[in-house]
């Protein structure tokens, strides 16, 4: 059973229309295409519930987003919006070879001349005409990539050992990869960053947290329902506007939101846009 709750006096802000909310969602650079669908569907459902009695915002949003692979897209998009820190791809564990080894080379790199493969049992093909020289089209200002083997002097072999380094300000992770021949080098690097990793703060979330930027509700309850019991809210808060930006100590400015109440399995408006 849902009920409306008046907003506290200290939370009253200038009201914002539905059109202004939609424009803010489209102009937000943090919003991806699927999250934009979710925000627009929830905004439309809440605005419709304000204008028509007996309308369930949750059912409207679920119906607008449809079903994919036998599961409501609304459920999946809500779960994907849960605030969390996601490891970068370079820092994830892999069953195959990792990125190139970044340890110093054990011996200088000497390029070997290319030797075309030959098949002595077959005769050489007869050239009817001389082939034209290859033409490579590149954009203006193009510079060839660096040869990390000669310029940087790193190993570059397929790596097997991973060392994680945590930023002392943000807690974000940077991965360093080393090959089997540089196992001792990897152990030295791990020992060097051990104290820094232990003192690093909880990582600032880098994914999710956009629904609380535009709508007020008991989002912790919602995220726990759709994300599962293993999800825990970050200490920085659920709203992405409240998270400190990398290199800054003050949080980003907050935005106006539509106020809603979450109860049971539905949403209900709590006043107009603020």
Q: What angle do CA 262, 263, 264 make, to 5 degrees?
A: 130
235 assigned to some structural domain? yes
Query: Is residue 48 scored above 60 in pLDDT?
Result: yes
In this structure, are 41 and 70 located in the same domain? yes
Q: pLDDT for 221-258, tens place per residue?
A: 999 999 988 899 999 999 999 998 765 554 444 444 55
In this structure, are 154 and 247 located in the same domain? no
pTM: 0.69
Q: Residue 222 has which token pair?
A: 């919602």
274 assigned to some structural domain? no
In this structure, are 189 and 100 located in the same domain? yes
In this structure, are 255 and 125 located in the same domain? no
Section 17-24 average pLDDT: 89
Residue 143 pLDDT: 78
In this structure, are 139 and 98 located in the same domain? yes
Residue 135 pLDDT: 85
Residue 262 pLDDT: 47
Q: How confident is the model at residue 269 (pLDDT cuts 50, 70, 90)?
A: very low
3 assigned to some structural domain? no
Q: Which domain holds residue 125?
A: 89-199
Section 40-45 average pLDDT: 91
**Around Cβ 34, how many Cβ atoms within 10 Å?**
14
d(Cα 79, Cα 230) in Å, to the nearest integer?
Answer: 12
Q: How confident is the model at residue 51 (pLDDT cuts 50, 70, 90)?
A: confident
Residue 147 pLDDT: 67
Question: Is the distance from CB of 269 to CB of 49 less than 8 angstroms?
Answer: yes
Query: Is residue 85 scored above 60 in pLDDT?
Result: yes
In this structure, are 195 and 250 located in the same domain? no
Residue 201 pLDDT: 92
Residue 185 pLDDT: 93
Question: Is the distance from CB of 47 to CB of 202 less than 8 angstroms?
Answer: no
Q: How many domains, in total, are found in the chain?
A: 2
In this structure, are 25 and 77 located in the same domain? yes
């Amino acid at each position: 059973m849902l009920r409306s709750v008046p907003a506290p006096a200290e939370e009253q802000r200038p009201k914002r229309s539905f059109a202004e909310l939609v424009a803010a969602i489209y102009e937000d650079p943090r919003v991806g295409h699927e999250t934009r669908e979710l925000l627009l569907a929830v905004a439309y459902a809440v605005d419709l519930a304000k204008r028509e009695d007996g309308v369930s915002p949750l059912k409207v949003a679920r119906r607008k987003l449809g079903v994919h692979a036998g599961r409501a897209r609304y459920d999946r998009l809500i779960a994907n919006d849960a605030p969390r820190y996601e490891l970068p791809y370079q820092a994830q564990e892999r069953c195959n070879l990792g990125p190139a080894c970044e340890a110093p080379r054990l011996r200088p790199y000497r390029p070997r001349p290319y030797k075309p493969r030959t098949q002595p049992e077959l005769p050489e093909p007869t050239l009817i005409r001389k082939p034209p020289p290859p033409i490579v089209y590149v954009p203006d200002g193009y510079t060839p990539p660096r040869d990390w083997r000669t310029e940087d002097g790193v190993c570059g072999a397929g790596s097997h050992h991973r060392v994680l380094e945590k930023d002392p300000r943000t807690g974000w992770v940077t991965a360093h990869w080393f090959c089997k021949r540089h196992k001792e080098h990897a152990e030295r690097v791990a020992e060097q960053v051990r104290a820094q990793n232990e003192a690093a703060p909880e990582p600032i979330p880098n994914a999710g947290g956009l629904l609380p930027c535009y709508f007020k509700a008991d989002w912790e309850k919602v995220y726990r329902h759709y994300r599962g019991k293993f999800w825990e809210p970050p200490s920085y808060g659920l709203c992405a506007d409240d998270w400190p930006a990398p290199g800054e100590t003050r949080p980003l400015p907050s935005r106006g939101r539509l106020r809603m109440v979450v109860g049971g399995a539905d949403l209900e408006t709590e006043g107009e846009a603020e």
